[in-house]
A and B are shown apart, each in its own frame.
Chain A
Amino acid sequence: MSFTKYLENPEIYARYNKVKPYFKLRSSAYDLTTRCQLKCEGCYFFSGESSHVEDSTDVKKWRHFFITEQERGINYFNLAGAEPALVPDLLFAAWNVLPFGTIFTNGLKLIDREINYRIHISVWGDEKGDKEYRGVNCLPKQLKNYQDDNRAVFVYTINKNNIDQLPSVAHRIVSSGHRMTFNFFSNPVGEHSPLQLDECSRKRAYDTVVSLIEQYGSSILFSRYSAEVHTASESLYKQFDCPCPRVADNGKKGLGIGQRYRSYRADHTHHSSSDCCAPNTECFDCRLYAAGSLIVPSRMDLHVSSEDLFRGWLDYLDVCLCLYLNDYERDIELYR
């Protein structure tokens, strides 16, 4: 069997045509500020050097900067932290330049509803877990701020110790009418975090995630294939390599993302040695959802050895697009 043969199947052909126009999405990442109300355990932002720069606060400069980025070919903004909700003027500056983007927030401060970007709200555990890792139980406030807000996707970061808390948190999020996805804690560079997933916790994470997909259906923005690749014994990097300039610098330049993707700090600087969606993460443990969104879709060529694998890849892309685009609706899974 081969790629062209798979496309002869009408179901696969239709799905491929559905996702294909989005091959043209060209994203980059932007830290808007080094400030945050929280100090979470294992926070990638504060464990890296991006937190040491001086914030650029001039809105006009930011607007000009975003226009320059658009001229560079970028048509999708990933706006992150530390906490972007603390700089609403900069969010508007981005929104007024490009209509597509995602804001990665802790959800404690509502982002103006006029800004129609996807909003990814980080969740670290239940009442006990959130207090333990973040110092505050954030979920009640997050749910209240984003009630009936279709932009919101709740992102539960699974670590070695919070898997048992996931079902009750998922129930709370989904029964409030929200959608959720999963992130997988990955070791920050130079640390041996106690939150790092091991073989046993990866297996438990897989089982829990798959049972939530079965229980809550389309409210869970994750697929069974995503669950497999994010909890595999090998990191995403080992399974698929990575197209980001941070590793492409080591001789693997690659097409597309390797030449274009940048991860800007809050002072508008970037370095190719840290141009990836999680610059302070150890590649050999990288299982982050944002990394997966860059890595897995870019490797269609590694998903054509069987029809089922190709179906899994299409599911991954379909879920990804729904994660990052407000008006995109995902379909039923094709993976068997």
Chain B
Amino acid sequence: MNAHKKLLAIFNSTFEIVHQSKEGDVLLNTVTLDDNLAQKFDLDSLDMIEVFLRIQDEFGVEIDEDDYEKLMSLNDILAYIDACGK
């Protein structure tokens, strides 16, 4: 699975818990690389932290808390992971 797909899978896992419905899947198909993910999925800060924790586990990267605010779109996150050398 490439990094993009892995990220989408992470958002999907988060949604299964959040909504317990297929809604997340439907939304997921419409997400673009530049969408603000928190806004698009109506995610709160703790939801985003869950996403960051899952990204850390999946990609073996450390996300500094000062960087949370910068990681708003798939592109931001992919670039961050890339910069971490993964």
Interface string of A232-267 (1 = CB under 8 A from B): 000000000001000000000111110000000000
User: Known contacts A23-B46, A254-B45; is A300 also within 8 Å of B69 by CB?
Assistant: no
- Please tell me if the beta carbons of A255 and B45 are within 8 angstroms of each other in the complex: yes
| B21 to A: closest C-beta gap in Å | 12
- Please tell me if the beta carbons of B47 and A301 are within 8 angstroms of each other in the complex: no
- Please tell me if the beta carbons of B17 and A17 are within 8 angstroms of each other in the complex: yes
Report A-chain residues with C-beta under 8 Å of the C-beta of B44: 23-24, 26, 255-256
User: Known contacts A23-B44, A26-B44, A255-B69; is A2 also within 8 Å of B57 by CB?
Assistant: yes
| B62 to A: closest C-beta gap in Å | 11
- CB < 8 Å neighbour of B54 from A3, A21, A26: A3
- CB < 8 Å neighbour of A298 from B45, B52, B69: B45
- Please tell me if the beta carbons of A20 and B18 are within 8 angstroms of each other in the complex: yes
Say yes or no for B53: interface residue by CB 8 A criterion: yes
Interface string of A1-30 (1 = CB under 8 A from B): 011110000000000110011011010000
Report B-chain residues with C-beta under 8 Å of the C-beta of A3: 50, 53-54, 56-57
A7, B53: Cα distance in complex, Å: 12
Report A-chain residues with C-beta under 8 Å of the C-beta of B57: 2-5
In A276-326, the 8 Å CB interface with B consists of 297-298, 300-301, 304
Q: How many residues of A contact B (CB 8 A)?
A: 22
- Please tell me if the beta carbons of A255 and B17 are within 8 angstroms of each other in the complex: no
Report B-chain residues with C-beta under 8 Å of the C-beta of A300: 46, 49-50, 53
- Please tell me if the beta carbons of B54 and A253 are within 8 angstroms of each other in the complex: no
Q: How many residues of B contact A (CB 8 A)?
A: 19
- Please tell me if the beta carbons of A2 and B56 are within 8 angstroms of each other in the complex: yes
- CB < 8 Å neighbour of A301 from B17, B38, B65: B65
Report B-chain residues with C-beta under 8 Å of the C-beta of A26: 44
Report B-chain residues with C-beta under 8 Å of the C-beta of A24: 44
In B7-56, the 8 Å CB interface with A consists of 17-18, 38, 44-50, 52-54, 56
Q: Which residue of A lies closest to B58 (CB)?
A: A4
| A28 to B: closest C-beta gap in Å | 14
A266, B19: Cα distance in complex, Å: 37
| A304 to B: closest C-beta gap in Å | 6
A211, B18: Cα distance in complex, Å: 36
| A14 to B: closest C-beta gap in Å | 11
A257, B48: Cα distance in complex, Å: 13
Q: Which residue of B lies closest to A252 (CB)?
A: B66
A24, B57: Cα distance in complex, Å: 24
- A interface residues (Cβ-Cβ under 8 A, vs B): 2-5, 16-17, 20-21, 23-24, 26, 243, 253-257, 297-298, 300-301, 304
Interface pairs A-B: 5 shortest CB-CB: A256-B45, A255-B45, A3-B53, A23-B46, A4-B57
